Structure 1
Amino acid sequence: MLDDRDRAILALMQEDAGLAIGVIAEKVHLSTSACSRRIQRLEEEGYIVRRVALLDRTQIGLPTTVFALVRTAHHADDWIESFRRVIADIPEIVEVHRLTGTYDYILKIVLPRVEHYDVIYKAIVRRIELFEVTASISMETLKSGQALPVGYAR
């Protein structure tokens, strides 16, 4: 069971996983060793999955975002596994969700420029059959982040 200090630690680490334990401890009013033990417990219990660095997409040459909506006529397990392998092999596809409704999947694709979408599209359809693909170019990011609201954590 998490308490308010655990939630505060999680919120701080989502904001900056590189914060020194001493800084986190000070902000949540714990000793460094007590804070370190809590962080270790949060990792062991699976609340903290991993620690990563978030890169600036423009700095690394990937300023363009395309969302591709995919419909398929196939829903068998073997097709889904093949689809998983295809998307796993394409690093520009950074996120994929299976959907309810008209489309089956949405892919978030990051690119150096919009014209590069055709390269990714061909890499997908060359390896797996799709019924329909429609893509939309993101004109502006209004909200972006990886941080989750920690108030729901128990």
Structure 2
Amino acid sequence: MKIFFLSLCFLISNLFLNSVKAQEFINYQVKVVSDSLPVVKGTLEKISPEGVAVNDGYGNYIMLRAKNIISIRLKKKGINTGKGFLIGTLAGAAIGSLAFTDSNNASGNEQLVTFLAATTLGAAVGTTYGLIAELKAKKMFLNINKDVKLFATEYKKLEIYSKAHYIDKR
């Protein structure tokens, strides 16, 4: 029974506690659609009236001009539906496997049913948690359509999510 409570506490601490990060811009992912490049995803390095600079996470620093930007989408990084399903399935399997450690005189079929029920319940709970987390992620969508004047008025909304904003703030 102690193993069950310890594993449950470990699962809850991993799911619900987020590590504190000094730089909040890392917690947001920007997705820029342009007419000149394929979709660019990463963290927002710098934004100005002339365009945006994105770090794609692979060491590439991509600059896009305002006249080429079609849309910009910003969302908070976190757990998504797939990760929730995986975590829930693993947690359900771990909890269900405790049925096999039970020393009562239960038959193998009863233990297997308990294992499958716990795994299925864990997958359902994890998927639900992932869906809710994905829906609650703060999202911002700017539809620019290569309009430089519109971009010049709208870019200030994204400025606080850029790395340059945090460096300049010091």
TM-score (norm 2): 0.24
Of structures 1 and 2, the one with the larger relative CO (CA 8 A, separation 6+) is: 1
Give the greater-gyration-radius structure (CA): 2
Say which structure is richer in strand: 2
Say which structure is richer in helix: 2
TM-score (norm 1): 0.26
